[in-house]
Amino acid sequence: MIDWDDLRIFLAVARAGTLARAAARLGINATTVGRRLEKLEETAHARLFDRTPDGYALTRAGHDLLPRAERMEAEALALERAVAGADDKPEGVVRLSVTEMLGTRFIAPHLPRFAERYPGIQLDLSCTNRTVQLSRREADIALRLAQPREDNLVVKKLAAIELSLYAAQSYVDRRGRPGRTLDRHDVILFADARPFAVENQWLAARLGQGKVVMRSDSVSAIFAATVAGLGVGLIPRLVGDAEPSLSRIESADAPEPRVIWQAVHRDLARAGRIRAVLGFLGEIVVPAARARSSAGAVPSRRRLP
């Protein structure tokens, strides 16, 4: 009889393409993945993958098995969610997936208060830009800057993040303060990728003869480089205004605020530990974003006249 745990290995390899990537997603080592896959092929009396220099490719038998294994996975995950969602106690592990900046700047500073209030909850905080699939239990709750489109989610618009240009006071002292454009200034851009298209377009329209000195897909890295004086960066106001070494660069307009979307699978939304985390996120993220929004154009402490 085929073991469900071996089918989980099969699905991970089919999706990842290599033993190493599948092992990383499963949290086990690649040797174990290879051994379990061989066991499954022996039990099924069929070769499920062709081993190629580029990775593992499904054979005809593997393609035939894939939809059946996915149906079994869907039922197993639905069972897990149903059991987990029925637990009304604020206890257990909650896996929260957030972007790096949300995790380090919006959430982590408040975690001592959360731990004091809910000592029975262990928060597993994952900081990543990768889209996680809540239906597959890759996380219990996700905060994202793009609206999740997965089925059977309870999605909420949690808050909006306003962004502005900033430069370190050391940079302003050395290079002067930018005017209406970023001509003759060093500029830090986001990575040339779709998730940052809106911000990059807004910056490009103001770049003029400015020099791009760095690109990054990490808002935290952009923040750190800006604080170090590398150049002018586009940073969330909540973060930039709180950093005394930074000076906000005023402009006639600003990029469209980024929306923080909160998502949880419908089957888990009523669990006690999930409700506790959702409530706490609302307490810390929403007021912080509203405070920045109501501050409007109030400059940071180090702004020059």
Per-residue pLDDT of 113-160, as tens digits, reads 999 999 999 999 999 888 888 888 889 999 998 888 888 899 999 988
User: What's the CATH number of domain 163-249, 3.40.50.300, 3.40.190.10, 2.30.30.90, 3.10.110.10?
Assistant: 3.40.190.10
Please state the pTM of the whole predicted model.
Answer: 0.67
Measured over the CA atoms of residue 145, residue 148, residue 149 and residue 150, the dihedral's sign is positive
- How many distinct helices (H) and strands (E) make up the chain? 11, 12
User: What sign does the dihedral 16-131-96-4 (CA atoms) show?
Assistant: negative
Query: Higher model confidence: residue 271 or residue 187?
Result: 187
pLDDT at 300: 37
Res. 299: pLDDT tops 80: no
Give the C-alpha separation, 128 to 111, whole Å.
18
Q: What pLDDT score does 289 carry?
A: 60
CATH topology of domain 92-158+258-295: D-Maltodextrin-Binding Protein; domain 2 (3.40.190)
Among the ranges given (22-31, 111-120, 289-298), the one the predictor scored with the smallest mean pLDDT = 289-298
CATH 1.10.10.10 fits 4-85, yes or no: yes
pLDDT tens digits, 189-223: 999 988 889 999 999 999 989 999 999 999 999 99
In the structure encoding, which two tokens stand for residue 168, read together?
A: 């370190």
Residue 248, classed as helix, strand or coil, is: strand
